[in-house]
Structure 1
């Protein structure tokens, strides 16, 4: 395994880093402040489109997508990982480079499983950054960590498919440019448990689709993307809206989650790096009891442990990315679950340490730490809670010894 950057990845990494430092960081605090103070924060501020245009002009666009036919950068998981880490330092950067979830995962689904019609209607404008999307899987009435519990239905009726049910935590559905969602529902309850469900492309303005409310996370609604609760009542669509055909929902979901978890985890490592930088700055600049904070209360050791933990987490994710590149998801299932547990918990520990060094200021919007903590804590639940992934890791370990 060689995790040194290829010439292409190194060039992208330099350019992405330069763009973040020169274009995004100087305006990001003001961007978030403007949204918070706006009477309607569910808007796209002009600065976002300006930054997106500059990034696209510089070729820093759709870097997550390995499929060059559709305008991706052609990078492997190992090559893209450090770019995701760089973007993770900023809440705005993934949007600016058109590399933000869930649009990335939805784009990958359409590249791999979409029909020509579906790609033309949804993928191409998504990759141009003209529209946004959401993914509707989790449900409020069932334990969604077990996807076989899914109660929402996607029933074939002649040449149509009919959707009914309620989804929530549908990230991105509050965005003013959200044009479609991918809905997963039960199609055939008598089929094999992994062939019962379908994924359907649903225009957000389809009759019967209603965003019931936006949900808050620790009091924040993550405007202008947000996390919505969405109802589907007798929503009728042509069968051509089904991705890859009825009954293939689980297959698609598994293909979607491998690279997506690499992206999530590497962005979290970038977030942890940013938190550690802020912690070090605070520890050296702030004086209490006649000494810099770095020289009080074991803070040097806390900073050292944070550095070690981040480096460990990064290597674990890079190893998993290498396995995905060389052996596919089948050869990396345990490792994908390992990073999904390890990295959010590591990031939380580092961010919490940084908050503590900032005192009460760390809880405020004056620093990005509270928002960072909220995002990292959410990812212990998103794409499956820790417990589900720990169970899978244990199952693989025990199977090897039986």
Structure 2
């Protein structure tokens, strides 16, 4: 079914973006989805080569996508000059289509963590940093990794980040261990965007102790210890690495924005990135629903004398999935629109709501699709199990649900004084009305 722009945002989507949405959908449906299984088949099964090569079909897809202008779609025109000139809302619609395919985002140079890292460099990097790292990333010549989470710290509270950054004159020395470093296993990964804690000049402000540095991946002292598995998937060749730093020395000029600016940078990075994840997830949910509908209407698969789709439970699942997907889409587009109107900081509540609701909902939709496929749903014959595993990580990545819920609850509760005051005024007026009309007993109201 051709992609339909939700009616509520029709006036927010430019004619140019509409044309691109058609081109993206055609490319994903005709090129990327058919290539997904080829990509998986081309990942080396030989352990010694698995992390030293990548599927050649991805370069073919990139060449085709770039020839059609489907490249670097993610950098919002509201805040950046280097992208394709779309708003966050417009790219959100595009990201949903990309999320239908395993290869779609990378084919158009729109895959994480490169997108977030490019946003960091574009927004906060100096001219030299942009020249050395942003330009080759935008050109697709290299890939990158994002290093924040740590194995030996409760990283859901980013103040606990403990990788030490010691400044010695014009040199920064790094020591520590990171894990879930997405992209660090990829043989094309040339640079790490890394969050650290200053060792020799720690501010009394807990939110100004962290810094972000650019670390070339080939710097001596770095060891990629192992790839981590996600429910049994190692996500080769991309991978999620555990990385050790021992006296890693980089120029002080690799510091981004300035010492102690880490929280500011990371919040700027994660806001739009969370929206991108959410919209790609909705695309995965749409594909999951398509798989479910195709499966339950297969004439060769009948149970108790009926097509599977004729059973009431299945029809309920289809209806619930449609409602869930459409509800999530509006929630995310609302957040994207608010970012466009202001910035990510102004849309914290809306981003948090989307970040919490979308992965939970998409997991439920995919779970229904898996159940409708029976045993086939949990094996490699369909992409559903892998999609489910990937989406499940989003309840932890970029801040676990509980952190966002706590922040939302705290901010929402700030309205308490205003609400109490309003209730007291209403109660006072209520009592006046009781006296005026000589009514006895509140239960009569």
- TM-score scaled by length of structure 1: 0.97
Counterpart Cα distance in 2 of 1:38 and 1:8: 45
Aligned residue among 73, 79, 86 for 1:63: 73
- Flag the structure with more relative contact order, 1 or 2, with Cα contacts below 8 A and sequence separation at least 6: 1
Structure 2 partner of 1:344: 359
Shift of 1:54: 1.0
Structure 2 partner of 1:89: 100
Shift of 1:2: 4.9
Counterpart Cα distance in 2 of 1:310 and 1:298: 18
Structure 1 partner of 2:397: 382
Contact 2:33 2:102 in 1 (8 A): no
Residues 93-242 of structure 1: pairs in structure 2 closer than 5 A: 93-187=104-198, 188-242=201-255
Structure 2 partner of 1:273: 286
Counterpart Cα distance in 1 of 2:273 and 2:33: 25
Q: Secondary structure at the match of 1:134?
A: strand
Aligned residue among 52, 60, 64 for 1:54: 64
Contact 1:354 1:369 in 2 (8 A): yes
Shift of 1:166: 0.4
Contact 2:208 2:260 in 1 (8 A): yes
Residues 21-32 of structure 1: pairs in structure 2 closer than 5 A: 21-32=29-40
Counterpart Cα distance in 1 of 2:214 and 2:231: 30
Shift of 1:90: 0.5
* CA spacing shift, 1:194–1:302, aligned 2, 3 Å: same
Shift of 1:319: 0.5
Structure 2 partner of 1:264: 277
Structure 2 partner of 1:41: 50
1:291 aligned onto 2:301:
no
1:3 aligned onto 2:3:
no
Structure 1 partner of 2:411: 396
Counterpart Cα distance in 1 of 2:80 and 2:258: 23
Size of the alignment, in residue pairs? 402
Shift of 1:115: 1.0
1:318 aligned onto 2:333:
yes
Contact 2:43 2:54 in 1 (8 A): no
Contact 2:335 2:351 in 1 (8 A): yes
Shift of 1:22: 1.8
Contact 2:80 2:122 in 1 (8 A): no
Runs (5+) with no aligned partner, structure 2: 1-6, 418-445
Segment drifting more, 23-32 vs 207-216: 23-32
Q: Secondary structure at the match of 1:194?
A: helix
Counterpart Cα distance in 2 of 1:292 and 1:242: 62
Contact 2:80 2:123 in 1 (8 A): no
Q: Secondary structure at the match of 2:86?
A: coil
Runs (5+) with no aligned partner, structure 1: none
Shift of 1:41: 3.1
Q: Secondary structure at the match of 1:332?
A: helix
* CA spacing shift, 1:60–1:388, aligned 2, 3 Å: same
Shift of 1:191: 3.3
Counterpart Cα distance in 2 of 1:374 and 1:308: 22
Structure 1 partner of 2:346: 331
- TM-score scaled by length of structure 2: 0.88
Segment drifting more, 296-305 vs 256-265: 296-305
Q: Secondary structure at the match of 2:271?
A: helix
Counterpart Cα distance in 2 of 1:64 and 1:14: 16
Contact 2:268 2:345 in 1 (8 A): no
Structure 2 partner of 1:18: 26
1:247 aligned onto 2:240:
no
Counterpart Cα distance in 1 of 2:366 and 2:208: 41
Residues 69-80 of structure 1: pairs in structure 2 closer than 5 A: 71-80=82-91
